[in-house]
Amino acid sequence: MNSKVIFINLFRWIVLLFVQIFLLRNIGFYNLSTPFLYILFILVLPFNTPNLILYSLAFLTGLTVDAFYDTLGVHTAGCVALAFVRILFISVSLNRESIDEPEPSLGNMGFKWFSLYIILCILIHHIVVFFLEAFKLTEFSYTIGRTLLSAVFTLFIILLTEFIFHNRKSN
Amino acid sequence: MGCKPKLSTCNLQLSTKMRNLWIFISRYNAFFFFIIFFTIGIFLCIKNNAYQRSITLNSTNSVVGSLYERLNVIKRYLYLGQANDSLALENAKLRSELLNIKNVDSSKIVNIKDTIYNQQYTLLSAKVIKNSITHRNNYITINKGSKDGISRDMAVISPQNGVVGFIMDVSANFSTIRSLLNKETHISVLIKKNNAFGSLVWGEGNFNLKKAYVKEIPNHYKINLKDTIITSGAGGFPKGIAVGRISNTQISTGDSFMTLEIDLFNDFSSLQYVYIIKDRLALEQKLLEAKLPNEQ
């Protein structure tokens, strides 16, 4: 991994967390739908990131978000689960030797693969986050509703971000 | 998954069983890493939920707190008009009370008893630097801390009218408040008209910011819509702070207590300043009540 890749990802980390904490934290529809854009950082880490580093980065990202959200452990667990799903999905859907793209972005991988990939990852992350936050099953239907509505919101914002920043690169 | 086993430095002196185990672990390293990190996450979460919180990686942390404070400057500027209005309103109210006090004909009273010394409650104002309303459990961060004499479990009210919550964590310059919009917060209240005790909670089936529920009111009380709910004086709040008005009495619970839905006076979404209530006699009361046999 050369220094350029590290720099790009560090920059992306700072920008995404800044947007998440100071802008998106204040956005929500009737307490039901809140977007979590910051997981895009974990989603588009390079393919050749070693598993240990991937997990550590996910853990640190979650911990940082938790510190600002006052929900210690919730986003941390969500991000770690997200990293696990990412590894599973990539190993199942792609042949490791034939990957010649640096990172799994929309412009590199095409809309079909990328949308399936982020839908799965977002769902797992949101389920873990919202159920850990509620921490009981008595509000099951409400929590499921929040999870799905927030997942749609997050999906929309992530696709929007990807369309804005990545389409040009592939052409 | 799919990471090749690192056998380049394989020790030949290891028995084959040990080597097989190592191959197994390194082939499925993604899963084992997941177990380890996820367990840490869950552990942090449970530890955070427990009553005694020992880890301070939250917004009372000085780095996080000062960042929020700096960004809050912009937000405060935008809400300046609203804050002014509420302050002016409060000033007017206080002035009118002052007028009443001054106009009492006191010429006949000879002995003046200094009652200020005996005052049980004092208020300390603080600025809200972070407020959340979109979660299941919401917290507020303010810019006063242990330097200003704030300690855990002090009650917090808002300038307009109504309760805000309890102090949760305190650092030197900041503290966090567990707001009413939280599943852990229960506040003892009563109906002003007939002094029926109940417990104020938020978010049991309705997550509207303006609604809350009063539970455990015995069934035999007559309740009307628009009755005022005030604090009962137990648990940190002085008696008589207006909390809200009853908006729905038709909630069936199936036992001998009713649940009432109320409209809160307090608007959590535009909270700018709060008052922390210092109870001079809190410690004394706590020590006395600790002597009671444990009744729960």
In the prediction, which pLDDT does B33 show? Answer: 87
Contacts of A116 (CB under 8 A, 6+ apart): A93
Last residue in a domain, options B179, B207, B226: B179
Q: What CATH number corresponds to the domain at position B77?
A: 2.40.10.340
Q: Are strands B257-264 and B175-179 parallel, antiparallel or unpaired?
A: unpaired
pLDDT at B8 over 50: no
Please state the rounded mean pLDDT for residues B87-96.
80
Q: What is the pLDDT of residue A14?
A: 94
Match 């035999």 to its residue by tokens. Answer: B220
Query: What is the number of domains present in chain B?
Result: 3
As a whole number of angstroms, the distance between CA B206 and CA B210 comes to 10
Q: Cα A170 vs. chain centroid, distance in angstroms?
A: 22
Determine the average pLDDT of the residues in B68-92: 80
Q: How confident is the model at residue B217 (pLDDT cuts 50, 70, 90)?
A: confident
Cβ-Cβ contacts under 8 Å for B122 (sequence gap 6 or more): B277, B278, B280
* Distance, CA of B108 to CA of B116 (rounded, Å): 21
With an 8 Å Cβ cutoff, are A67 and B57 in contact? yes
Hey, which of A17-31, A121-135, B240-254 has the most confident mean pLDDT? Answer: A121-135
Contact A70, A78 (CB under 8 A): no
When comparing pLDDT for B23 and A56, which is higher?
Answer: A56
pLDDT of amino acid A167: 53
**Residue A157 near residue A37, CB atoms below 8 Å:** yes
B257 in Cβ contact with B217 (< 8 Å): yes
pLDDT over 90 percentage in chain B: 4
Helix (H/G/I), strand (E/B), else coil: B259: strand
> Domain range spanning residue B32?
7-55
CA terminus-to-terminus distance, chain B: 52
B273 part of a folded domain: no
B59 closest CB neighbour out of A34, A68, A77: A68
Check: CB of residue B133 under 8 Å from CB of residue B237. Answer: no
Higher per-residue pLDDT: A105 or A155: A155
Q: Are residues B83 and B129 in the same domain?
A: yes
Residue-averaged pLDDT of chain A: 86
Of A14-18, B69-73, B258-262, least confident by mean pLDDT is B69-73
Using a CB–CB cutoff of 8 Å, tell me whether A150 touches chain B: no
- The encoded tokens of residue A120 equal 């799965």
Q: What is the pLDDT of residue B108?
A: 46
Does the CB of A144 have a partner CB in chain B at under 8 Å? no
CB pairs < 8 Å spanning A and B: 112
Give the pLDDT mean for B214-233: 86
- The pair of three-digit structure tokens given for residue B6, joined into one six-digit string: 């690192």
B45 and B66 share one domain? no
Residues B93 and B172 in one domain: yes
Q: Which one of A31, A135, A142 has the shortest CB-CB distance to B49?
A: A135
Task: Look at residue A171 and tell me whether its pLDDT is greater than 70.
Answer: no
Per the model's pLDDT, the better-predicted residue between B230 and B61 turns out to be B230
Residue B65: phi and psi, rounded to 5, are -60, -45
**Shortest Cα distance, chain A CAs vs residue B92, angstroms:** 33
Establish if B271 belongs to a structural domain. no
Place of tokens 């939280």: B182
Q: Which residue has the higher pLDDT, A135 or A60?
A: A60
- For B92-106, give the DSSP string: HHHHHHHHHHHTS--
Same domain? B147 vs B230: no
Q: Show which of B138, B162, B179 is a domain's final residue.
A: B179
Mutate to test the interface with A, among B26, B34, B61 (most CBs of A within 10 A): B34
Please tell me the distance from the alpha carbon of residue B200 to that of residue B215, in angstroms, as a whole number. Answer: 6
| Contact call for B33 and A62, based on CB within 8 A | no
Decide if pLDDT at B2 tops 60.
Answer: no
Interface mutation target, options A70, A71, A91, A121, chain B, most CBs of B under 10 Å: A70
Q: Which tokens is A5 given?
A: 């890749």
Q: Which residue has the higher pLDDT, B57 or A164?
A: A164
Report residue B83's pLDDT band, with 50, 70 and 90 as the boundaries. Answer: confident
Question: Which amino acid is it at B140?
Answer: I
**CA angle A43-A98-A114, nearest 5°?**
30
The average confidence (pLDDT) of chain B is: 78
Contact B266, B160 (CB under 8 A): yes
CATH number at residue B198: 2.40.10.350
A1 pLDDT more than 80: no
Residues A116, A90: Cα–Cα separation, whole Å? 11
Q: Who among B45, B207, B208 is closest to A77 (CB)?
A: B45
Q: How many helices (H) and strands (E) does chain B have?
A: 5, 12
Q: What's the pLDDT tens digit per position in A69-104?
A: 888 888 999 999 999 999 999 888 887 777 777 888
DSSP conformation letters of A41-72: HHHTS-TT--HHHHHHHHHHHHHHHHHHHT-T
pLDDT, residue B144, reads 87
d(CA B236, CA B234): 6
CB A68 within 8 A of CB A59: no
pLDDT in tens, B153-186: 888 988 877 889 999 889 988 999 999 888 888 8
- pLDDT value at residue B109: 46
What is the mean pLDDT of the segment spanning A14-23?
91
Which pTM does this prediction carry? Answer: 0.61
Tokens 């704030």, located at residue: B150
Region of B216 on the Ramachandran plot (φ > 0 left; ψ -120 to 50 alpha; else beta) = left
pLDDT tens digit sequence for B97-137: 776 665 554 444 444 445 555 667 778 888 888 888 888 88
Contact B55 A72 (CB under 8 A): yes
Q: Measured in whole angstroms, how far is the alpha carbon of residue A76 from the centre of its chain?
A: 12
- Encode A15-48: b = buried (16+ Cβ within 10 Å), e = exposed: ebbebbbeebbeebeebbbbbbbbbbbbbbbeee
- Distance in angstroms (rounded) separating the CA atoms of residues B155 and B164: 8
Is residue B74 scored above 90 in pLDDT? no
> Is the dihedral angle over the CA atoms B159, B164, B168, B169 positive or is it negative?
negative
Cα gap B57→A67, rounded to integer Å? 5
Comparison of pLDDT for B292 and A126, the residue scoring more? A126
| Interval B17-64: pLDDT, tens | 778 888 887 778 888 888 888 888 888 887 776 544 544 556 666 677
Q: Does B277 fall in a domain?
A: no
**Distance between CA atoms of B229 and B191, rounded to whole angstroms?**
5
Residues B249 and B215 in one domain: yes
In whole angstroms, give the CA distance from residue B283 to residue B289. 10
* B76 and B42 within one domain: no
**B168 sits in which H/E element:** strand B163-170
A70 near B CB under 8 A: yes
Contacts of B30 in chain A (CB under 8 A): 51, 84, 87-88, 91
CA–CA separation, A77 and A56 (whole Å): 12
| Residue B71 in domain | yes
Query: Average pLDDT, stretch B270-281?
Result: 84
What does the pLDDT read at residue B93? Answer: 80
